[in-house]
């Protein structure tokens, strides 16, 4: 009986959602496009077109992709933005630097991400990455390209109704501040956090001014628990490195406050905070609860916890990446990204706040 009431309730909700979404004109879920900004957690191959040492365009990367083979994703298969595009029933965003990123192909979304980049433009600068300022400038170029195809009014509508995902920030800590005595001398941890949050505030307002209204922004993950950091700290038992996680947790609290303040200043800006930290920490520390066998040891890599790079062809590669939370020393497996993207799509307020993707779709922008 209860089950029946439940499914009727779901039906009613779905109907209401369909009505609220204004009888979508576009295919699928009525979302015209997905635009992606960030680092290697969302890069789907821009790095292949850049002269940079940060690469993943060799086997065994992409071993479980369809079709199998390296794509430039730092993963065995799909990353979170692939799952989001598939859910939205739109093509996966084209890589900004790919030759096919022109004409009608950009109308369903573009991926501007660059592995090694961060919130700060200095992060990854030595590696020739596309910094976040550049990624946003490139979005402006794409906007002009869209206007030239469908006109200003339709472009505004398209950008307003599209979904945006920002996933970055890890490199600002583990590959920059944490390794850089000059930065540490210049900024206390608190001042560095303030600098990052100020940059985020500016960049999110820039995105708003371009016309974006529906943005998901990832928290930092528990960086002190990734295999690379366990090796760096000489961990014996594999427990998380607390001194790496402390500023991460503080940043995540600050990020939520920054987003709340922007929402207050711009009530028509739907900015959702994605809690990557807690679900990933749970997966790492209690892998069996989520059906994983290994929490803090990567599928491909070298050394203890496989916390050294996954190098072709010498590194060990596990048979079944689905058993692992981590694909390489730093990056999740496809299965982990599946869980994290499900949280974005339909997770509770614990995982995505104030709205998940389904709720955002149901609300008119
Ligand atoms: C960010 O990228 C732009 C464009 O490539 C470049 O001009 C600028 O110097 C970069 N910023 C830093 C701090 O490297």
pLDDT tens figures, 151-208: 999 999 999 999 999 999 999 999 999 999 999 999 999 999 999 999 999 999 999 9
The length of the chain, given as a count of residues: 365
Helix (H/G/I), strand (E/B), else coil: 295: coil
Task: State whether the beta carbon of 134 lies less than 6 angstroms from ligand 1.
Answer: yes
Q: Name which of 319, 37, 40, 66 is nearest 174 in CA terms.
A: 40
DSSP H/E element including 344: helix 334-346
Residue with the bigger pLDDT between 27 and 191: it is 191
Q: How confident is the model at residue 21 (pLDDT cuts 50, 70, 90)?
A: very low
CA of 121 to the centre of ligand 1 (A): 6
Q: d(Cα 336, Cα 61) in Å, to the nearest integer? A: 15
pLDDT score for 55: 76
pLDDT reported for residue 312: 79
Distance CA 74, CA 327 (A): 8
pLDDT in tens, 94-152: 999 999 999 999 999 999 999 999 999 999 998 889 999 999 999 999 999 999 999 99
- pLDDT exceeds cutoff 90 at 241: yes
Whether ligand 1 lies within 6 angstroms of the CB of 176 is answered as no
Indicate if ligand 1 lies below 6 Å from the C-beta of 122.
yes
Quick one: pLDDT at residue 127?
87
21: CB partners within 8 A, 6+ apart: 29, 30, 361, 362, 364
**What is the bridge-based pairing of β-strands 316-317 and 352-353?**
unpaired
Distance (Å, whole) CA 359 – CA 352: 11
Q: Kindly state the DSSP code that residue 156 receives in the 8-state scheme.
A: H
Confidence at residue 26, expressed as pLDDT on a 0 to 100 scale: 53
C-alpha separations of 174 from 52, 99, 177, 222 in Å: 18, 32, 7, 11
Check pocket membership of 133 for ligand 1, CB cut-off 6 A.
Answer: yes
How confident is the model at residue 203, as a pLDDT? 98
Q: What is the pTM of this model?
A: 0.92
Give me the active site residues, please. 40, 328, 331
The C-alpha torsion from 117 through 120 and 121 to 127, rounded to 10°, is -40
Question: Is 80 exceeded by the pLDDT of residue 297?
Answer: yes
In the prediction, which pLDDT does 365 show? 61
Q: How far is the CA of 218 from the centre of ligand 1 (A)?
A: 23
Per the CB < 8 A criterion, the answer to whether 204 and 271 are in contact is yes
Fill in the DSSP letter of residue 290: G
Q: What is the pLDDT of residue 4?
A: 41
Q: How does strand 270-274 pair with strand 352-353?
A: antiparallel
Q: Ligand 1 centre and the CA of 118: distance in Å?
A: 12
Separation of alpha carbons 118 and 129, rounded Å = 9
pLDDT in tens, 32-41: 999 999 999 9
Of residues 280, 328, 272, 343, the one with CA closest to residue 63: 328
Mean pLDDT of the chain: 92
Give the pLDDT confidence score for residue 27 in this predicted structure: 61
Q: Which of 14-28, 177-191, 217-231, 313-327 has the lowest mean pLDDT?
A: 14-28
Sorting pLDDT into bands at 50, 70 and 90, what band is 316? confident
Cβ neighbours for 16, distance < 8 A, ≥ 6 positions apart: 362
240 burial level (CB within 10 Å; 0-12, 13-18, 19+): buried
Cα–Cα nearest to 251, from 199, 195, 193:
193
CATH of 33-362, picked from 3.20.10.10, 3.40.50.1110, 3.30.390.10, 3.40.50.1000, is 3.40.50.1110
CA distance 199 to 240: 28
Q: Whose CA is nearest to atom 4 of ligand 1?
A: 134
């Amino acid at each position: 009986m209860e089950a029946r009431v439940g499914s009727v309730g779901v039906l009613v909700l779905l109907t209401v959602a369909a009505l609220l979404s204004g009888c979508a004109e576009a295919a699928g879920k009525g979302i015209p496009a997905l635009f992606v900004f960030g680092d290697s957690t969302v890069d789907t191959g821009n790095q292949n077109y850049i002269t940079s040492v940060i690469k993943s365009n060799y086997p065994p990367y992409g071993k479980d992709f369809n079709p199998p083979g390296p794509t430039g994703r730092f993963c065995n298969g799909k990353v979170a933005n692939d799952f989001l595009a598939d859910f939205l029933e739109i093509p996966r965003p084209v890589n900004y630097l790919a030759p096919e990123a022109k004409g009608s192909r950009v109308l369903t979304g573009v991926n501007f991400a660059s592995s090694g980049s961060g919130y700060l433009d200095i992060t990854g600068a030595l590696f020739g990455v596309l910094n976040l300022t550049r990624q946003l400038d490139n979005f402006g170029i794409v906007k002009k390209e869209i206007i030239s195809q469908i006109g200003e009014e339709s472009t505004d509508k398209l950008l307003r109704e599209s979904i945006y995902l920002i996933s970055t920030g890890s490199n600002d800590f583990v590959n920059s501040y944490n390794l850089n005595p000059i930065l540490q001398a210049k900024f206390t941890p608190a001042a560095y956090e303030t600098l990052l949050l100020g940059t985020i505030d500016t960049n999110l307002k820039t995105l708003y001014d371009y016309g974006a209204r529906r943005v998901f922004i990832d928290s930092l993950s528990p960086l002190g628990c990734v295999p690379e950091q366990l090796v760096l700290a000489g961990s014996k038992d594999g427990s998380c490195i607390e001194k790496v996680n402390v500023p991460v947790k503080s940043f995540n609290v600050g990020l939520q406050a920054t987003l709340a303040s922007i929402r207050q200043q711009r009530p028509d800006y739907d900015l959702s905070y994605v809690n990557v930290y807690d679900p990933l920490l749970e997966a790492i520390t209690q892998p069996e609860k989520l059906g994983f066998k290994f929490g803090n040891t990567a599928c491909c890599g070298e050394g203890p916890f496989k916390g050294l790079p996954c190098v072709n062809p010498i590194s060990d590669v596990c048979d079944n990446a689905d058993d692992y939370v981590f694909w390489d020393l730093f990056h999740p497996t496809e299965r982990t990204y599946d869980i994290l993207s499900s949280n974005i799509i339909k997770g509770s307020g614990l995982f995505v706040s104030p709205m998940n993707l389904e709720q955002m779709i149901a609300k008119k922008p």
